[in-house]
Amino acid sequence: MIRLGQLLKLANLAEDGLQAKEFIEDAQVQVNGETETRRGRQLHPGDTVSFGGRTVRVARG
């Protein structure tokens, strides 16, 4: 499991936690096709996150 803010940083969609927080709070991030505004949203394998024209899928680690 990983939290949304952490994923944005690890996938290089955000430079740091503050930037990830801003993107999420500004409703710019979608999880599984739905807008998500909770930075602490827990993601599971198979979930997709879209932002800035890019989509990443959570995989098992």
User: In the structure encoding, which two tokens stand for residue 23, read together?
Assistant: 């993107």
Structural domains of the chain, ranges and CATH numbers in brackets:
2-57 (3.10.290.10)
Q: What percent of the chain has pLDDT over 70?
A: 98
Rounded distance, CA 6 to CA 35, Å?
Answer: 17
Q: What are phi and psi of 40, to 5 degrees?
A: -85, 10
Model pLDDT, residue 16: 95
Angle, alpha carbons 4-6-2 (nearest 5°): 65
Q: 60 pLDDT band (50/70/90 cuts)? A: confident
User: In the structure encoding, which two tokens stand for residue 40, read together?
Assistant: 């602490």
What is the chain's length? 61
